[in-house]
Structure 1
Amino acid sequence: MAELLWERGTTLGQGGFGVVSLASTSNALFHGVTLPSLIAVKSCIYSDSQSLKEEEEFLGMFKHSPCIIRCFGANLSFEDEVIIYNLLLEYASGGSLANRLRNCNSLPEFEVKKHTKNVLLGLSCIHTNGIIHCDIKPDNILLVGTEETAKIADFGLSMTFEQAVKEKQELMIRGTKRYMAPELVLNYDYGPHIDIWALGCTVYELITGTPLWDGDGDHVLHQIAFEKPKFQNSKLSKEAKDFLKRCLVKNPSSRWTADVLLNHPFLQNSSIVLVNTAKTRKKKSGSKSLLHKPIRKITFKFGNHKFVRQLPDLKEVENETCARVLGTDK
C-alpha cells in the first residue's frame, strides 16, 4: 500500500533508528488528510519499530500544535524482502537549526528570539500533556515552510511523567550529553525542567555560535554536574543573559517553566511566525516527480540489512524543492 501513497526519494539523514528520506506523494489521501506533495519518511525495520510507534503516539497528542512537527500517521512497506515501518512526517525544507548554525556560525538575536518563542510554545503543549521531550537541541528544531517556522521534532527519546519515575528507579539516562541538565547527570531526575535546561543550552549556542560546554563525553558531564554556566559573551544582550539565567538554574525547582519564560523581556519584542500550512498542502505543482530526476545509487542500512536504491540526484532534488517552496516552479 505504501507505494500508492508515496515514493522514497533522497536520504535526508540516518542514525541508530534507521533512515529519514524525502518522499513525493502526488497529494495522496491518507487517514482522511491530503498529504503535502513532499513529506519526510522516518523508517526502520518493523521488528525494531517500537521507538517509532511510541513517537507516532506522542506526535498524535500534539497534532493541533503549530510548533511541533506534524505526523500524518504510519504505514508499512515491503522493501528488499524486509517489512519496513514508516512514519510519515511534515517535511522541513529549511532544515534544522543545527544546519543553520553550521552555515552561519551564529544567528542574530532577533532570529533566535523568534525561534525560541515557538519552541517554548511547543514545550508548553508538551509539558501540559504530561510529556518530557528529553532531547531538545538545535538538531531537533526544524524550520518549516517559506516562513521558516521553528518546530520541535524527534520524540524518539520522549517519555511520560509516569515513565520518568521508573527511569529514575532503574538509573537510566537518555538524551544528548551536551544538553543534559545537572539533576539528570547526578540523580537521574527527569521532569519538564530538563527540557528548559536544554533550551537554555540551545539558545546560548545559537546566539554565540559556541556550545555552552566545551569538550565531550564524561568531561562534559563533569562540567554540567559541578560547574556553573558562564554567560560572559559579547554577543549576548542583557535580556538574553537574564533569560539564560532563568533556564540554566542548577536547582530544577527554581528553573522557570515554559509558560513563565514566554513572558520574559527577552521575548517581548519577538514575533511568532506560524506558517499557514493549509494552502501549502493544497498547492499542486506542474513539475515532474522528484523520482523522475537524474538518478544516483545510494546504500543505507536498517539494522544489519543493507539496501541499494536508485535515487534522484541530490542537487536536482534540492533545486526542485526550493522551486516548490518558493513558488518559482513552472
Structure 2
Amino acid sequence: MFKHSPYIVHCFGANVSFEDNVNLYNLLLEYASGGSLADRLQNCKSLSEFEVKKHTKNVLLGLSCIHNNGIIHCDIKPGNILLVGRDKTAKIADFGLSVTLEQGMNQKQGVIRGTERYMTPESVINTEYTSQVDIWALGCTVYELITGTSLWEDADGDDVLDKIEFEEPKFQNSKLSNEAQNFLEKCLVKNPSTRWTADMLLNHTFLQNSSKVANTAKTRKKKSDSMSLLHKPIQKITFKIGHHKFSRQLLDPKPLLDKPIKKITFKIGNHKFVRQLTDLKEVENETCGRVLSTDNS
C-alpha cells in the first residue's frame, strides 16, 4: 500500500520462523543507517529548528499518504521515525499499533493505543480514534525535538494521563520561534475536530522556507569548502596531460604562497577548464567542479 511513498519505511517482504516453540512473523524492512530521531535526540540533546522543519515536513508527507489510505498510525514518536540513506531522510516506521479508520471509530472501551507521553486527550478518555491522534503525537514530537524535553516532562505514569486530559499544553520555550509555537498550537488542539490535518499543516508557514534554508546551507558549505583551499598551505599539485593525471608533492609550499593565485584549473565531468583570476575572491564561485591544480605564474 505504501511502497511508493519515500517517507514510509519500505517493507520488502516477510517470513515466519519457529523459535522457542513460538511462530515469529519477521518483516524485511529498509535499513535505517541513521537510527531513529530518538537516537539523534539522545546524542544531541536537542535539534536545530531547521533540521526539525526538514524532518517534520517528511513525516507530514508520510502521514498524508497513510491517512489518505484510511490508516491511523497510533504511535508517532521520535523512536518510530527513522533516518534513512545518505541524506538521512525521515521515514515513518512501526505500524504495530495502527488501525483502519473504521476500526478506530469502533474502538473498544478501555483499549488505549500508543505511548503515554504522545497520547491525545480523546485517547485517554477512551473515545473513538481518528487520524488526528497522529497530528497531536507529531506536535509532542516536534516540541521534544526542538526543546530537548518532553511536553509533559514533570509528570510520570498516571500523572501524565491526567495532565493530557485536564490541562492545556504549554509550549512557551525560548528555543521555539513564533512560527514553531503557532505550528504547535495547530497540532495540540484538545478538540480533534478543530485540530489541523496533515495536508493543512504542510502549508503552514513553519515549513514554507525549509527547502530554501536547506539550499542556502548547502551553498554556504560549498563556498566554505572552496575558500578553504586558499587558507591552507598547498602541499600537492595535481596536473593532467592528455588522459594522464600526475601529482607532485611540494617539499616547500612557501614559494606558491608568496604570490597570489592568478590561475585555477578545475574539472567538471571529463572536461577541464582554466580560469584566469583577476581577484582571489573569484575562487569562491568555482564550487561546481573538482580543483585539479593552482598556478601562481
Residue 223 of structure 1, aligned match among 145, 152, 163: 163
- Partner Cα distance (2:121, 2:24) in 1: 38
Structure 2 unaligned spans of 5+:
215-297
Residues 143, 184 of structure 2: 8 Å contact kept: yes
Determine if the alignment matches structure 1 residue 111 to structure 2 residue 111. Answer: no
The CA distance in 1 between the partners of 2:82 and 2:99, in whole Å, is: 20
Residue 87 of structure 2 corresponds to residue 147 of structure 1: yes
Cα distance between partner residues in 1 of 2:198 and 2:2: 16
Task: Please give the residue correspondences for 1:184-263 in structure 2 after superposition, counting only pairs within 5 Å.
Answer: 184-214=123-153, 215-263=155-203
State the match for 2:65 in structure 1: 125
In structure 1, the partner of 2:9 is: 69
Deviation at 1:83, TM superposition (A): 4.5
1:1-330 map, 5 Å: 61-78=1-18, 83-167=23-107, 169-214=108-153, 215-271=155-211
Q: CA deviation at 1:80?
A: 6.6
Q: Which has the higher contact order (CA 8 A, sep 6+)?
A: 1
Task: Report the AA paired with residue 252 of structure 1.
Answer: P
3-state DSSP of counterpart to 1:271: helix
Tell me the amino acid that sits aligned with residue 205 of structure 1.
E
Contact 1:143 1:149 in 2 (8 A): yes
Contact preservation (8 Å) 2:111, 2:126:
no
TM-score (norm 2): 0.69
Deviation at 1:96, TM superposition (A): 0.3
Q: Which runs of 5 or more residues in structure 1 are unaligned?
A: 1-60, 274-330
Hey, what's the Cα distance between the residues in 2 that align with 1:80 and 1:177? 31
**How many corresponding residue pairs?**
212
**CA 81–196 in structure 1, closer or farther in 2 if over 3 Å, else same:** closer
Partner amino acid, structure 2, of 1:139 = G
RMSD across aligned positions (CA): 1.6
Identity %: 75
Superposition deviation, residue 79 in structure 1: 5.1
**TM-score, structure 1 length as denominator?**
0.62
The alpha-carbon distance between structure 1 residues 80 and 224, as it changes in their structure 2 partners (threshold 3 A), is closer
Write out per-residue CA displacement over residues 55-76 of structure 1, whole angstroms, 9 at most, x where no aligned residue: xxxxxx1111000000001013
Does the Cα contact within 8 Å between 1:172 and 1:188 map onto a contact in 2? Answer: no
Q: Which 4+ residue blocks in structure 1 deviate beyond 6 angstroms?
A: none
Aligned partner letter, 2:105: V
CA distance in 2, matches of 1:110, 1:270: 7
SS at match of 1:135: coil
| Partners of 1:83 and 1:100 in 2: CA distance | 33
Please identify the structure whose Cα radius of gyration is greater. 2
Give the letter aligned to residue 249 of structure 1.
V
